[in-house]
Every structure is written in C-alpha cells, then in structure tokens.
Structure 1
Amino acid sequence: MTRFLPLVDVPLGDLFDALCRIGPVLLRDPPPSLPLPDHSYLLLDNATELDHVTSWLDQGAEKVVLPLSAAKQVIGLIPQERLILLLDAVSVSAVSDKVRTGVSGVLLKTPEIDTDLISSISNFFSNSAIFVFVDSADPPSLVSIRSLLHSSVNLVLPNSQLTLANSSSSQLSIADVFLAPITTDRPDGLFPTIVSTETGHSLGLVYSSFESVKESIITGKGIYQSRKHGLWRKGETSGSTQDVASIRLDCDSDSLEFKVVQHGSGFCHLERQSCFGEAAGLPHLEKTLQSRFESAPEGSYTKRLFDDPALLRSKIMEEADELCRAETRDEVAFEAADLIYFALTKCTAYGVGIADIERSLDKKAKRVTRRAGDAKPQWSTHKAPEAKSTTPSAQLDLDAPIRLRTNNLTDCSEEERAQLLRRPVLKSDEMFEKVKPIVSQVRQRGDAALLELTAKFDKTRLSSTCVFPPYSKESMEISIAVKEAIDRAYANIKKFHAAQIDGSSLKVETMPGVVCSRFSRPIARVGLYIPGGTAILPSTALMLGIPAQVAGCKEIVFATPPRQDGTISPEVMYVAHLVGASAILKAGGAQAVAAMAYGTETVPKVDKIFGPGNQWVTAAKMLVQNDTDALVSIDMPAGPSEVLASVMADHTAKPAFVAADLLSQAEHGVDSQVVLVGINLTSDHLELIENEVDEQARQLSRVEIVRQSVAKSLIVLAGSVEEAIKFSNDYAPEHLILHLENAPDKVRFIDNAGSVFVGPFTPESCGDYASGTNHTLPTNGYARQFSGVNTLSFQKHITSQEITSDGLRELGPVVVTLADCEGLQAHANAVRIRLGSMKV
C-alpha cells in the first residue's frame, strides 16, 4: 500500500534505485523516452491533451496526477482509479461534483501540514486517497510524518529532501520515512518479515530491524536481523544471496514483505528453495528448466528443445491447437499444462522468467486504449478438424466441412454421457468481475456514466439516454410488408397471451369463520431488454412487450443498443408504439441493465427486468437481483440460445428440414450450442443431414458465427425413442423440435423443455416470430426449474385472510400453541388478547 510517495525530478542514481525498492515513485513530467519503473505515478503539470495522458497510462503508469484544468478535460474518458487531482487549498471551491467523483485521489499542495485543512479535504473527497505535498524548503519532522501516516494520509516528499545517509535538518533518510508508521508488540522491537519470490511464492519467515531494513534499501541485498547473531546478510557464507525486488509494509504497518530474486541453492538452510518445502507447480518447472538450460544432459528431451528452435516452435503450435480442441475440464487442464511447459521452455531460452511474464501482464492490464482484439486473418475462421492432427502449423481450411461431433448413447459410459449433457463453459465468476465496475459506475454516476459507456461499447455519442412517447412517425418508418408482418405477429401473440391472464380471485374457507383469498396484480414497472449487437430483434420486443401490455403494467421501459447514428431501429420503435412503451433506453449490455435496476436522472427505475442477452447482460441481471439496494427481480438467467432436435430415421425426418432447424439456432452467436439426437439413423441418412448442414451453412451471411457454434455442437445417436426422450429431458433444451413419426403422441413424455415444436411443418422460427407462443425461454438447462416468459411473469399474487370471532375461537388456540412452541410470545399474545376480550 502507498504511504510514502517520493517526488522525483531526475530518475537516476542510487537514491532513485533505492526509492523504487520501497514503493511507487512520483515522476514529474518525465521525458517520453523514459522506461517507467513498476507502479510509477506521474505528475503531468504540462498535460494539455487526452492523447498525452493515455499514452503514459498505456506505457504502464499506475496513476497520473493532473492539475484541475487538465483533469476536467479527461474525467470520464480515462478510468477513475487511474486519476489523481493536483490541488492547492485555494482551488477547492472550484471543484465540481463531476471532478470530485471522477478521481480516485487528491494530491494537496500546501506550505505546511495543516491537520484541519487535510481533514476538510478528506471529508470533501470522501472516497478518494489523500496525498499531502508540503511545499517548503525544509522537510517536515519525523514526528509530524508519523502522525500523518497513522491518519491514513499519504505523504509526498521531493527527492531533494531525501537521502541514503542518516537524517538531518535538511534531508531525511528514506529508511526513516519508510519505517515511520511501523509498529511492533515484540519486546525486542523486531518486525516479522515474509520473504517471497517475485511471483509471490513464500520462501520463509524472518525478522527485521530498523538497521537491517535500512541496509537492504540502500544495498538492494537481502539483509535481516537474527535474534541471536545480529545483522544477517543472507548468503554471506553460503553464497545463496538475494537481490531485493521490493520491500512493503502490510496494511497494519506491523510486518514487512521482501520480494527477492534468490540465488544459489535456495533460501532454506536445508538447501531447498523454501523453508516450507520444495517448490511445486510453475516455480518448480521454472527452476528445473533454468537448471536444464545451464547443464542439460546430452540426449535429454529438454536439451533437444533448447538446441532445436524449429522443433520447439512446432511443439508450441501443436499444443496450442490441442488446447483449442479440448472439450472437458480434465482435457483442458492436461493440454494447457503441455502448452505452458513448451512456452516456458522458450521463455527460459531467452532469459525470460515467470516474473517477467507477470510484469508484462500487469503492464497490458494498465492500458486504457485497446485494440479490437480480433484474430489475425490466418486464425480468424479456424475450424479444428474432427481428428487430432499432429501437424504443427495447421492453417485455415475454409473448405473443411462444417460438421457436428457424433456420439452414440448406447456405447457411452455414465461419465461420457454426463459430458454430452454439459453446455459450453460460461465463466460466471470472470463475467461478474467484468460487469461489477460497469454496474457500479451507472449506479453511482447515473446518466453521465451511461452516456460514457454507450460511447465506449456501442460506439455512438448521445446527448440523451431515453426516447419518450409520443414517438415520431419518422422514427417508425418501415416497409409495408414488415409492418403487416409485425401486425399479424402482434395479433397472434396478444391473443395467446391474453388467454393466460389470471383475473380471477381465489377464495377458500379453510375452516368455519376463516376465509383465505388470493388475487393477482400487475407488476407496476418492468424493464425489457431487447438485444442488438449481431442481430436486430423486433421479435423480442413483441415477445416481452405484449405480455407486459396484456398484464396491465403501468410502466414499460425498453432498453436496446442504439445504432451508430444514435437512433433505434424503426422496427423496434414501431413495436414500442404498439405495446405502449413508456420509455426507450438507448443503451445495451450491463450498463442498460444497471440503469433500469437503479434508475438514473432520466431512466425510470423498474421492478423486474426481462429479456435475453449475451454473457454481459446475463451476469448483470444476476448481479442486480442479488443487490438489496436495487430491489429488482429478473425473469430468468437466460443466456445464449440453443436447440435440441430429436430426429427419427424415417420419412418424417427430412434432412433439409433438420439441418435448417439446427442452423436457425447456431446462427444466434458463437456461444450457441445445437444438439441433434438421432434415433436409429442409418449412416446414409446421417450423412444426408450432415451434408445439408454444410451446404446450407455456406449460403448464410453469418457463416463464420455458424462455423464456431457448430464446432461446439453434437450429434447424439440413440437406440430408441425412449432413450432419446430420456436424454432430452436430462438436457432440458430451450427448444425441442420433434421430427418424429406420430410426434403429437410423444409430447406427453416431455418433462423439461422451454418450448416444443411438434412435427415436420413446425419450424422453431414460427415460435420465434409469430405463432403466438413466447420465444424468451430458459437456456443452459434452466428449463428444469424455469418456465419461459408468459403473461403470469408480469403479474404477482397477493393473499389475504379474513377471520370472524367464531373463527378465531377455533383457530386461535392452534396459533397460540405453535407460537409458544417457537418461543414467540408476542405472536401468541396477539391472539390471547383477542380471545380474552371475547370472554368479557
């Protein structure tokens, strides 16, 4: 953690090297050619343009410190956590709320340590770190420094006031300043010290003193305090010396961490790397490879790899290909281990260690400008062959057939069958971590954050967040054919969903004088997410808007990503008009979900959020429903679309129909998965279906998406209708299409499915658009627990009860007994008092 931040004008010499060992340094307007030390802070007095600031952040600067005039220009355009405001006392009144909430810290420039001023600044910038720079010729006293650091304020001192020697009236020892806040409860005054590698793997526990720490800072060597023998210069006799990479205080300032580069046989006196035993995993592999590089036995495989760069290159490419095609958790771990071994072998040959890789990762993570991240042309449409290839440099083959993988249920073990039921892995934890900052920004900063995120993710700059009725005719201009199609779909969907309304009241007399009731009410405010991105979906607007309208919801808020010109597709606008949407939020992704969950200055808050979306949308929905401050529920954790088609090898299973149904779901996105269950299919029939899939896929405009989703997809061969339906019920598909003889007779055996499509002339597309059923359905196996969206999804049920005095005479003793049993005396008294009044 940062407590002491030295301000450096000239980053040269022993003093600078020592300062870098004990934490970040603050560099003032460094030259563009300067390689930045790790965790550098930059004071950019002369920053005038955004590109100047982002350039330094992209080079690895931890944070930038900007004066107020420059900060105003970049707030909202660079991450809040990377920006510190340079401020003097007289400028505090000029700080707006946008500036106050747009920075993560404040560097206060003051002629002296003024505790009242510092306290006032801390209160004003309540969520920011406070740095104090005392702009005077002489440094503050160590007593003042200790008091300041103990109050969680960070101290900035210019390098001119710092020295490697002992402290004086004009200069302070950097060791004295660094150790000013440290405390210990040990009678000998020593500090527990954890020694670890640069990658954070523990080597051992030792003790330090002021003297040992000071010498380590100055020399850059591992020096500690032996409780028996005084100063312990590690390796002085054994040769196992240490170069110190960093020295840190812990959060309570009562212990230290030394990260070191260990030389020789190791840290432990038993000549092991660690006092806690031999290293394992990556540290062990790194140590072994370094040893092999220095003295690998002739004929060993590792030496062969070091001596033959072409072989090593081929093995890296081969293992990368096998990792890409791994399907199970164990396979992924196995193939990843192989790839890491060969990759680390190349790193070792070039003198690159794991610590160097981690530094590179950290530097990449600090970039604020990003490339699109698309694959290079030779990899962008890669489709792995069915059989594993040992060819190290396999190139793209656009002529390779687009095929599903085939499995036979009859020959499957239980473990293999379980693997067939697994969906493509959705990394929920990773998605939550990515989504949390977005949701937090919208929650805290409202419309300002929403507009910034829309510019960032939807690539359009808007002046307003929402469109409100009445909607202009120009915004709803669509062709007559599309209008008529939407009107017909609207009529069918509304007719089916209107029939689902629960308008009745249930009334039951459970015993004489005790009447219980239940009645329905619409959810007052609903938010409907209409995906955009790779497809415009007015059909989803119909499927969500109509049941909300039929249920009687008072506020219906659409959210959909805007087009690049900032408008909403006219088809969605027209549907919004039909269903009476009260607002249309021009935003997509997690930011749209957050805006509806919490509300902003212009976006209405809703009570329940509906609609499918990608992993970002799904993660955001699940995140906000668990936040009690949001007080919002969701329809279901709907993720990427999928289909499970059961196919029987007879005249009803037309290959062209089956292939078309599979591809209609595969084109949704690269995360989609399609599964074909074939019942006693002949090899010829199966080949006809696979040929149709390949031929039809190549005619699609979204063929590259289909290539990737089909690669994740399956053909599962079953020996009977019963075996196929059992597999289907275990899989719990979003859509289930029955290409079966006497298909209507099989529906009664279906227990788990979002929606069922019966017979050869019932394509899933009809349910997606216009037959009348809803297409917002549970995915990823959630059909076991969830229904698809329906009218009742937009209603809630309230119960009531009415009890007469006679009824209470009968029921009351039962309640009193149960309340007393649970120890809830007040509950029992509420009945006893009433029963007592009846006896008077």
Structure 2
Amino acid sequence: MSVFLPLLDGQVDEAFLAVLQRIGPVITPVLGSYHVSGDVSRYILLDHNTSLNLDEIIQTLDQGAEKVIVPLAWAKEVVGVLPASRVLLLLDVNNVSAVSETVRDGVSGVLIKTPALDTDFIASISRFFKGQDIHVFPVDSGAPLSPAKVRELRQAGAIPVIPSSQLTLSEGTVGQINIADAFTAPLVSDRPDGLYPTVVTEDGRSLGLVYSSVASVRESILTGNGVYQSRKHGLWRKGETSGAIQDIRSIKVDCDLDSIEFDVVQHGVGFCHLNRASCFGHQKGLPLLERTLQSRLASAPEGSYTKRLFNDSALLRAKIMEEADELCRAETKEDVAFEAADLIYFALTKCAAAGVSIADIERSLDQKAKKITRRPGNAKPQWASAETSSSKANSSAPAPASAPKPNPDAPIRMRTHVLSDCTPAERAKLLKRPVLNSDAMITQVRPIVDAVRTGGDTALMKLVAQFDRCTVLKDTPILRAPFPELSDPELDPEVRKAIDVAYANVRAFHAAQADSTTLKVETMPGVVCSRFARPIARVGLYVPGGTAILPSTALMLGIPAQVAGCKEIVLATPPRADGSISPEVMYCAKLVGASAILRAGGAQAVAALAYGTETVPKVDKIFGPGNQWVTAAKMLVQNDTDALVSIDMPAGPSEVLVIADETCNPAFVASDLLSQAEHGVDSQVVLVSVNLPESTISQIEAEVDAQARALPRVDIMRESIPKSIIVKTTSVQEAFAFSNDYAPEHLILHLQDAPSTVSLVQNAGSVFVGPYSPESCGDYASGTNHTLPTNGYARQFSGVNTQSFQKHITSQEITVDGLKNVGPVVATLADCEGLGAHANAVRIRLRSMQ
C-alpha cells in the first residue's frame, strides 16, 4: 500500500522518477509532456479537457497503465465497460453527492480534489465507498503538505496526492516536502525502540525479517540500496562488507502503517549470513530450479545433459515441444503435475540461456494481465490441425488436435534415462504409454456406436461416407463370398507368392495349437470329468487400413479362425474411395475362407459387427488391432449385454522394447526400433541398454536418425521417436526387471547368448531372440501371430492364437457308484449354503438306490 501518490505536474529527471517509483505508482496527466518509461507503475489522470475516447483509454490501459482516473461525467461511458479495479473516479467536493451506487460499485476508489482537508468529510466519503481507496488532492493551496498533515490523512484512511513540484530529495527546501519525510511521516511502531518490523522479499518470496528506522527507510528510499536498522550496531547497509548488496524495487507499508515490505533484487551469495538465499532455509521449487540453471549455464561440465541443452538449441526446442505434447495428453492430477514440471524445466532452461529470469516472466504476465482487450484465443493453424492417430493403422474417425510438425532438420532422437537414478515416481512414468484416457475415448465413440445400433445400414453407410470418405456405397456395405478372382495387374505376382508363403507358415504354427482332443479325468471312482473345444461360430476380424494396407493382419486373424473351424468369418476393413477393397486384403480374405467383407472402418465397423444390421451378420467375438477409436468401441460393446459380444483384448498403439548389451549391432538395434516407430505418431519404442558404453549408444542414436531419414514414413517417426526412451541399466537382471514391469507388445533380445535369457521373460506379447530375429518376421511370415497385447496388457493377456477362436466346454458323467461316492459330499455342501433343492436333487437319487 502506498503512503502517498506523486502527481507529475512538471518535467522530472530519471533519478527523481526512480525514487518516486520505489514508493508506489505515480499519477501522470494524459496531456502532460512527461516522458514516463513503460516500467513505471502509473495512474493516468483524465480531466474534462481531455479529448481521448473510450478506445484510446482502453489502449492506454493495454499499454500498461495501472488505472485511469476519470471525471464523474465520463462514468456512464466506462462503468461496466472497464474493470472496476482499473478505474478511479475524479471528484470534487461539490459533486460527491451525485455518485450513484452503480457508479460507486463500478470503480475501485476516488480521487477527490478539495481546497480544505476536512477529516470528518473524508471519513464520510470512506463510509459511502465501502473501504475503497480514497485519494485526496489538496488544491488552491500554495504551501505543500506537512509531514504532520500526511500523517493525519493516512490515519484517517486517505492517501494524499502530492504534486511532484512540491517534492524534493533535499532537506529544508522552502515550499517543498522531502520524499522520505512524507513517506515515513505516518509510520507507527508499538515497540519500545520505535523500530518497524520489515519483511524483505524478492519476487514475492521471503528472504528474511529485519527492522527499519526512519533513518534507514529514508536512506533506502533516496539511495535505492537496502538499508536497515541493526538493534545492536545502528544503520546496517546490507552488503557493505559482504558484497551481497540489494537494489530496492519497491517499499510498501501494510494496512496498519506499522510494518514495511522491501521488495529487492538480491546480489551476491544471498540474504542470510549463512550464505543462503533466505533466512528461512534453502530455496525450493521454481527459485531453486532457476538458481540451479543459472549456475549450470555458467559452469556445467562438458558432456552433462544440461550443458548439452544449452549448446544444442534444436534439442532444447524438440524437448519443449515433446513435453508440451505430453502435458496435453496427461489426464490425471498426478500426471498433469508431473508433465507440467518437465515442461517448466525445459522452458526455464530456454529462459536461462536467453538471460530471462522468473521475475522477467512475472513482469510479462503482469503486463498481459493489464490488457483490457483480448485476442480471440484461437490456436494458430499449424497448432490446430487435426490428425488421426494410429496403431497398426488409422481409421478415418475424428481425432484430437495434434501437436505441430517437428522441425525436419532437428535430430531424430529418443530421451535417455539412467534407471538407477530414477525415483519410484520417475520409474513409474517410464512405464507409462503416451495414450489417451479410455473413458474419454469411449464417451466420444458412444454416439457412433449408438447410431449404428439403432440406425442399421442407413446410419452405417452415412458414417462410412463421413469417416472412411467413401460415398459410393448405396445398397449394402457387405461383400459376400465367393469373391471375384484377382488378375495379375490387380495383385503383383511377387506379392501373391509372398502371401502364399506367409499363409503356409502361419497356418502350420496355428494348426499345431488347435485343441482337438478331449481331456478326461476320473476324479474319483465313477466320476469322469471332461473338457473339449468347440469353435466360436461367428467372428469379426478388424483389419486396419488407414496409414498402411495390412494384408498381414488379415492372415494373422483369419488363419487361426479358419484352423479353429469358425463357421462365419466376417472381415471388416475401410474401403477405398471407389468402394473397393485393396487386392492384397481381398486375396487374404479368399485364402482364409472369409464368408463376408464389411466395407467399413473405425468405431462404425465395430458397432456393425457387434449388433448386426440388415445386411451385416452379428458376430460373437471381435478381433483385431486398431487406433484409439477402434479400441474404445471394442471396450464399449463388450460391456453392453445387448451386444452379447466379446473381444480379443484391449489393443493400443504399437510398441517394442529392445534389450541390448555390448555385443549388439547398432544398425540392427536402430532398425528394430524404427520398425515399430513407423506405425503411428503414438507408437512407443524403448531401448534398454545393459552396460552399453556411451559410444555405442551414440552409434545407435546416429543410426536411428540416419535410417529414419531414408525411410518413407519419416514424418511419423519424427513424432514417435522423440516420445520414446532409452533406459540405461547395469545388469541383465535389472534390464529384465524393467521389461517385465513394462510388459511390451514386442520384446527383442540383442544379448550375448540370448536364448539362455528367455527364461527371464515374465511379461511380453512375443519375444524375438538374437540379432537375426527382427520383429518384422513375426509381423509377416515366421508363423507367430502379430496381434498382441499392448499398453502393458501382456501382464494379463496372450496374443491372438488358435485357442482364441475356440471356447472350451466341460462335461461330467457319473455312474451309480460314482453318485454314491460324491453325492453325500454334494448334499452336505448344499445344506451348508442353504440350497435345499440342490441337496434334494442328489438325495432323491440316493434314496432310489436303496
């Protein structure tokens, strides 16, 4: 709070203005020829002679003025238009009674021009304005206010306005009052020594509690240096011997005029005599981070990560963009706090490198807060463009706004973490995937699913036109077998041969998995229990078709369905613009014996399979990977008892974890990482290094960058790779412990004697053992299935296999002797549970045997 407000009524020099600024805002007449820098806190006085219109007043406030002081005649124009906190009302003693309650409530206080200083009159004004600031400007008085009069006004609750022509830095000047005398005049102390408790702060953070005297305050105001009153040694000029001097930014008094706050810029080792920033202990939070970064900027060792950030502007830019994206994706309170902390760290690193302090940021925030006019706040086009995320591929369903495209010249790099240095919270973060909240996605897909459920083919084809961008489906979305033969121009002969080989290998492996025998166990004499498998009658196979054509998925889902003996196999895949299906997928559909092809993608395809339509057969179980829309729709329909449909597993974006030791080939490792990173921008790849030297890690990073740039889907990898991580471990056991917690979809072992380490695997979708077992082989043709659990679900789920398409039925056959053996046990347990009918069903038979 200010003791008094200076009114600039003449030209003042910079030194004089600096002194005035230390004790609060200054009042500047808008028509005055007074240059006041943008850093000076100022009120703008508008009087009846001012010709500014409302737009110009708003512009003045936008440019940083704290408040405008307007005549009562202008009240109708500004009250309700400008924030009350930014307006003072200019009154004289004759028009005070003309102020309405509406006008009073639309301003933050008044400035009253009065020829006489009547404290009773001021008290009545204060009562009407309900505690708002009352500024009193004595006019028509040649003599300046005396310190005693300043004291009287302040104790009456008014803030005096003193023209700058009546203020001086000197002593005993006739017709003027010393600035320091005016400031200290109303101060009161309840201490025997007459000192004032003084809180010293820097940027709003407390440095310590000291004491001030009239003499020390006077010197601080006039010199701009921190000067206090030692109770033992007299005036204490802070830093005079230690060098830890202070520059005064502002001096304020509290509402009772009995304590003071000094806001300072502290130099040297800190405020405390223990060479700490604060007497209340060490800094924490943002001040500590700022101090650390400033120290690292000056003396960070070569090779340290912070030094690397300061020296590599492209890396720092990429990290800021990466962390901003992760913050946007965070959902829970804990995740938002965690990601915001990461973003603030990198943002402050950028600031430190540019010489920008937290105080500079706060001043900028304060300046922005002063603006009356506001931009619409819409995102710029490059930040608002929508992009559909994918796992194995995208559907055409709508997607959240994406992050801006990365700089193509920036290195394509992963983030590196040393596992032993991570806190439990940081380790838990490394295990998390960059995916959206499933509940939020289910909310978004529900209208799509409901539309198909209630609207059938008509709704489905509208959604195909909207999301799959195919407008030619007029009669039916279904193609029924037999499908037409494909000619060589439609299907490359080499592709056909490759599909045939893959089909044979996958079928051989999956045929061996079929459960075709009946399990029989005689649990006690005369009691035989059996278990036998039967195919699921009707299955729906979702084959993505967004960013890539995936005939391999048609094989991986269709072959086990075919081997299991499913009677109806409905394959769903997004159509091309002309309503046709890619010849590769069509050929696979023929090979696996699909009975129908649903020409639809996304949540609309899942809904049609789950509920059926006039032409689409309802299925009993839905299989297949997809983006977040497909996954959310699968989770939604499996929980709807009206659908009576199950799903294979919750599937999310593709992922791979590679464990590598010093025997690895860096080029092989990089290629394995990229093979999953290209699936979609939300894919995640993880390299777990086992005692890898920095030179080898650098080689892998260089290979990732070089190989990615040579690949056709480099734009996707520019986004997915920076979200992925390198985790440094010191032993094979530590590496597998992290991998098992992560539970990757694909696990690749680039290890010495890799086969011997497979026994350490507890959680993984599929394992690729040794340097010549790339994940790509499992995706296409080695024989294993590539539809695997993601998002850590490998802890609970298996990948798709032949038994996924079978259900198991149990039976029991009990003879007369068998019932004599087991019957009494059953009756006793039924009685225990109070189920008499159960017990009766046994006893009635036992009695018939007597």
Please indicate the TM-score interval, normalised by the length of the shorter structure.
0.5 to 0.7
Residue aligning to 1:754: 765
How far the C-alpha of 1:425 sits from its partner, in A, is 3.3
Partner of 1:324: 325
Corresponding position of 2:698: 687
Deviation at 1:410, TM superposition (A): 2.4
Aligned partner (choices 768, 773, 793) of residue 784 of structure 2? 773
Distance 2:605 2:370 in 1: 49
Matched with 2:687 is 676
Query: TM-score scaled to structure 2, two decimals?
Result: 0.56
Matched, 1:489 2:502: yes
Residue 573 of structure 2 aligns to which amino acid in structure 1? T
For residue 731 of structure 2, the aligned residue among 695, 702, 720 is 720
The Cα shift of 1:348 comes to 5.5
Cα shift at 1:836: 2.1
The residue correspondences of 1:139-218 to structure 2 (distance < 5 A) are none
Which of 622, 626, 641 is equivalent to 2:654? 641
Look up the SS of the partner of 1:623 in the other structure: helix
Alignment equivalent of 2:536, drawn from 516, 523, 539: 523
* Structure 1 pair 336–696 and aligned structure 2 pair: CA distance change class (3 A): closer
Contact in 2 for aligned 1:521/1:796 (Cα 8 Å): yes
Residue aligned with 1:331, SS: helix
Give, in angstroms, the shift of residue 743 of structure 1: 0.7
Q: 1:337 to 1:435 in 2, by over 3 A?
A: farther
- The answer (yes or no) to whether the contact 2:322–2:723 under 8 Å persists in 1 is no
Q: Could you tell me how far apart the structure 1 residues matched to 2:581 and 2:130 are?
A: 66
Distance change (3 Å), C-alpha of 1:547 and 1:347:
farther
**Shift in Å at residue 829 of structure 1?**
1.4
Report what 1:408 is aligned to.
Answer: 418
Q: In 1, distance between residues paired with 2:374 and 2:568?
A: 58
After TM superposition, which residue ranges in structure 1, 4 or more long, deviate above 4 angstroms? Answer: 235-241, 263-266, 297-301, 317-322, 325-328, 333-354, 370-376
Q: How many residues of Structure 1 are paired with residues of Structure 2 in the alignment? A: 512
1:297-308 → structure 2 map (5 Å cutoff): none
**Which of the residues 748, 755, 758 maps onto 1:737?**
748
Corresponding letter in the other structure for 1:691: A
Judge conservation of contact 1:374–1:380 (CA < 8 Å) in 2. no
Amino acid at match of 1:323: A
1:341 and 1:441 mapped to 2: Cα distance?
A: 50
| Counterpart for residue 423 of structure 1 | 433
Distance 2:342 2:748 in 1: 36
- The aligned counterpart of 1:381 is 405
- Give the secondary structure class of the aligned counterpart of 2:813: strand
Q: In 1, are the aligned partners of 2:659 and 2:751 still within 8 Å (CA)?
A: yes
Asked whether the equivalents of residues 518 and 533 of structure 2 are also in contact (C-alpha less than 8 Å), the reply is: yes
SS at match of 1:507: strand
The whole-number CA distance in structure 2 between the counterparts of 1:433 and 1:420 is 27
**Alpha-carbon distance in 2 for matches of 1:334, 1:351:** 30
Partner Cα distance (2:366, 2:711) in 1: 43
Q: Equivalent residue of 1:470, what SS?
A: coil
SS of alignment partner, residue 788 of structure 1: coil
More divergent stretch after superposition (325-334 vs 711-720)? 325-334
Post-superposition offset of 1:838: 2.0
2:477 pairs, out of 465, 473, 479, with 465
SS of the residue 1:644 aligns to: strand
TM-score normalised per structure 1? 0.57
Counterpart CA distance in 2 for 1:341 and 1:321 is 24
Q: Does the C-alpha gap of structure 1 residues 400 and 774 become closer, same or farther in structure 2, counting only changes over 3 Å?
A: same
SS for the counterpart of 1:660 is: helix
| Range that drifts further, 807-816 or 548-557 | 807-816
For 1:775 and 1:453, the matched residues in 2 are separated by: 29
C-alpha distance in 2 between matches for 1:624 and 1:468: 24
Contact 1:240 1:265 in 2 (8 A): no
1:357 Cα deviation from its structure 2 partner: 8.2
Quote the offset at 1:336 in angstroms: 8.9
Contact 2:560 2:805 (8 Å CA) reproduced: yes
**AA in 1 matched with 2:689:** G
Distance 1:333 1:692, change over 3 A: closer
Q: Residue 683 and residue 600 in structure 1: after superposition, are their counterparts in 2 closer, same or farther (change >3 A)?
A: same
Superposition deviation, residue 565 in structure 1 = 1.7
The answer to which of 754-763 and 417-426 deviates more is 417-426
For residue 558 of structure 2, the aligned residue among 527, 545, 550 is 545
Closer, same or farther in 2 for the Cα pair 1:663/1:527, shift >3 Å? Answer: same
Report SS of the residue matched to 1:694: helix
- What amino acid does structure 2 have at the position aligned with 1:757? F
SS of match in other structure, 1:444: helix
Change (3 A) 1:795 1:474: same
Tell me, yes or no, if structure 1 residue 709 matches structure 2 residue 716. no
Report Cα offsets for 1:652-710 as digits up to 9, x if no partner: x1111000000000000011000001111111111111000000000111111101111
Whether the aligned pair in 2 keeps the contact of 1:475 and 1:573 (CA below 8 Å) is no
> Is the contact between residue 326 and residue 434 of structure 2 (CA under 8 Å) also seen in structure 1?
no
User: Post-superposition shift, 1:371?
Assistant: 14
Residue 819 of structure 1: which of 808, 827, 830 is its match? 830
Structure 2 equivalent of residue 498 of structure 1:
511
> What is the 5 A alignment of 1:253-652?
323-324=324-325, 326=327, 328-333=335-340, 349=370, 351=372, 380-382=404-406, 396=407, 398-461=408-471, 462-463=473-474, 464-474=476-486, 477-650=490-663
Q: 3-state SS of the aligned residue for 1:509? A: strand
Return 451-460 or 826-835, whichever deviates more.
Answer: 826-835
Distance 1:733 1:325, change over 3 A: closer
Helix, strand or coil at the partner of 1:760: coil
State the 1:771 CA deviation: 0.4
Residue from 772, 787, 810 that aligns with 2:821: 810
Superposed CA offset, 1:716-745 (max 9, x none): 111011111111111111101111111111
Structure 1 residue 411: Cα displacement = 2.2
**How far 1:400 moved relative to its partner?**
1.1
CA spacing shift, 1:517–1:322, aligned 2, 3 Å:
closer
In structure 1, C-alpha distance between the alignment counterparts of 2:487 and 2:432, rounded to whole Å: 43
Unaligned runs of 5+ in 2: 1-99, 107-128, 133-260, 266-317, 348-360, 379-383, 385-395
Q: 1:602 & 1:641 partners in 2: Cα distance?
A: 33
